[in-house]
Chain A
Amino acid sequence: MNTVTVATDRDAEWKDSLTTERSFVRRLLIAGAFLYLTIFLFVPLVAIFAEAFKHGLSGYVDSFLNEDALGAIRLTLLVAAVAVPLNALFGVAAAWAIAKFDFVGKQILITLIDMPLAVSPVISGLIYVLLFGAQGWLGPWLAEHDIKILFALPGIVLATIFVTVPFVARELIPLMQSQGREEEEAAVTLGASGWQMFTRVTLPNIKWSLLYGVILCNARAMGEFGAVSVVSGHIRGLTNTMPLHVEILYNEYNAASAFGVASLLTLLAIVTLSAKALIERKTVSAKSQR
């Protein structure tokens, strides 16, 4: 006859105490984290909405239902609509090359991709002023051909592209590296063309990370201030994106309107974070099937 020892609750508690902190310490740490978040995140967020609604609902709506504000919103959306797809394409192409091939200059490419994250946004904007400005390298040539890059839409788009380059690529590179290239090789030996291999084997394997990268890229593209501020020229209604418009309003002591427009950007942030959380859940459930 076999005797079986059953672990009692006390055994479990004892084991737990060896590897987890005491409950008092745990509560202290969690409280500390919440306090930190409250001061630096929650209070500012609440303050934004509180200030935005200072003049009531109609005041709130007025802050962005005017010519200048709508222009800023349109411009922001347009810039994102150009910058994000381009960077998504570049990100996929760069991650593909880096993950599946060996070539001279690979490390340089990786470093270059990371560069916009290390460089101050103001410098990012300054690069374009030095290139395309009146005293810049290409300035005289552009003036000759009557092409406006700075203080116009093209400049803003370029600056935004520059600062958002890393997001998709950095999301995809480690993923594609860990996936290796055997599946692609298998597809090719089975007769798939390059395009078929890419759309039917590679893309489905990276789709959630790609989406995540695109969402991050979009959030940054819409919210970029420093680089765009340098190249924009701040022409109301024409070359102001939403972040710039918020600055102008605030500098005119029109705090309520400033916060009103800012609240739209905050909503964008909240939507971005929700999408991120959803995607993460999808990725976890996909991984657990492995």
Chain B
Amino acid sequence: MSIHVEHVTKRFGTFTVLNDVNLQVGAGELVALLGPSGCGKTTLLRILAGLERPDQGRIFLHGAEVTDQRITERRVGFVFQHYALFRHMTVAENVAFGLTVQPRAQRPSTARIQEKVRELLTLVQLQAMADRYPSQLSGGQRQRVALARALAVEPKLLLLDEPFGALDAKVRKELRRWLRRLHDELHITSILVTHDQEEALEAAHRVVVMHQGNIEQVGTPDEVYENPATPFVYQFLGDVNVFHGRIAHDRYEDKEADERAHADADGSDHREVTFVRPHDLELSLNRTTPTQLEATVKFIITAGARVQVELASKESSEIIAVELTKERYRELKLQQGDVVFVHPRQLQVFKVPGPG
């Protein structure tokens, strides 16, 4: 089922949560809505489910307008962050719920319902838990039950609201991969809301980065990570070093050296900001080119898959974060206080409004 969001705006009181949002999702896609708290991603998801109504705009599911359609008619599966399992029903009863509330004419037979529940519990690998109560399950198990319950009514659209947010890191990683595999098997159009960029980049076909009610960028995980469209996307999707200066004529000039403001074609001021990822910075012990930045090693963290080095730039008071592979770190034999020379392998310059 394809989704078409057209000019959707939503306000709570004076606060604009969604600001003229437009989005297209193709049938069978797994799309992640990624952004910090308060960016509007959950509200957008709930509007798609019918749990909220937009103040302006229209929603189309599979070509048909559903803006005013009741929740019960939308055939949407919703998975909540805190599972929302029916606490007084067993796991099997929870999963069967969507089928048992159908009007008599459409409702499958009891035997068929039981069969379906068995199938779904097998799909989520919880057959043994059918007669347990939600309070007797772990968080990860509960979320799988919630997913099975949502799938029971064969929804055309699956909406997941930070489904792994309440789980610990390891379980989150496992379930994330499991969800992607499940999606590859079932091909239900799915939208996943998350604030965890790793989750979005790993699980989704396409990522929609949101900020303060606006969509900043839509693209594949590679696209948004390698070619971020705005400073926000760049900063949100990973660590970043911000240099308030610009690379001019293959030479890095920092803020003090280049304080001239630039005028845009429309006369408004802007300045240029350079973004570099920590792992795109190269370190050497001797100056090899005039474009390198001189810095002193302040802090080294070796625990973990890579080595994090914190440098203090010589020219400005900026702190530079560098990520090195263990091999490179051993090659350099870095120690606190060493003087090193920094050169970016890859960088991105953004025009930011405002004087220099």
Contacts and interface: CB of A to CB of B under 8 A. Distances in A.
Interface in A188-215: 188-193, 196, 200-201, 204-205
Contacts of A186: 78, 80, 84-86, 146, 149
B78 A289 contact: no
A183 B71 CA distance: 14
Contacts of B152: 190
Interface in B34-56: 49-51
Given A189-B71, A190-B98, A182 B51 contact: no
Contact of A189 (B77, B133, B136): B77
Interface residues of A, number: 18
A280 interface: no
Q: Which of B76, B101, B136, B152 has the most CB of A within 10 A?
A: B101
A190 B101 contact: yes
B104 interface: no
A183 B80 CA distance: 9
Interface in B70-120: 71-72, 74-78, 80, 82, 84-88, 97-98, 101-102
B72 A182 contact: no
B346 interface: no
B80 A196 contact: no
Q: Which of A186, A204, A205, A289 has the most CB of B within 10 A?
A: A186
B24 interface: no
B21 to A, nearest CB: 21
A192 B72 contact: yes
A200 B101 CA distance: 9
Does more than half of chain A's interface fall in helix, strand or loop, or is it mixed? helix
B86 A191 contact: no
B87 A190 contact: no
A178 B256 CA distance: 56
A182 B84 contact: yes
Given A183-B87, A200-B101, A189 B51 contact: yes
Q: Which of A188, A191, A200, A205 has the most CB of B within 10 A?
A: A191
Contacts, number: 64
Q: Which of B72, B80, B98 has the most CB of A within 10 A?
A: B72
A190 B135 contact: no
B27 interface: no
Contacts of B84: 182-183, 185-186
A200 B152 CA distance: 18
A15 interface: no
A196 B97 CA distance: 11
Contacts of A192: 72, 97, 101
A135 to B, nearest CB: 48
A182 B42 CA distance: 14
A290 B74 CA distance: 32
Contacts of A201: 86
Nearest to B73: A191
A191 B153 contact: yes
Interface in A153-203: 182-183, 185-193, 196, 200-201
B78 A185 contact: yes
A186 B97 CA distance: 10
Interface in A247-290: 289-290
Q: Which of B76, B80, B82, B84 has the most CB of A within 10 A?
A: B84
Contacts of B72: 188, 191-193
B133 A289 contact: yes
A290 B153 contact: no
A204 B49 contact: no
A117 B253 CA distance: 75
Interface of B: 49-51, 71-72, 74-78, 80, 82, 84-88, 97-98, 101-102, 133, 135-136, 146, 149-150, 152-153
19 contacts: A182-B84, A183-B85, A183-B87, A186-B80, A187-B86, A188-B51, A189-B50, A189-B76, A190-B98, A190-B152, A191-B75, A192-B97, A193-B72, A200-B101, A201-B86, A205-B88, A289-B133, A289-B136, A290-B135
Interface of A: 182-183, 185-193, 196, 200-201, 204-205, 289-290
Given A182-B82, A188-B51, 9 more contacts: A186-B80, A187-B101, A188-B72, A189-B150, A190-B101, A190-B152, A201-B86, A204-B88, A289-B133
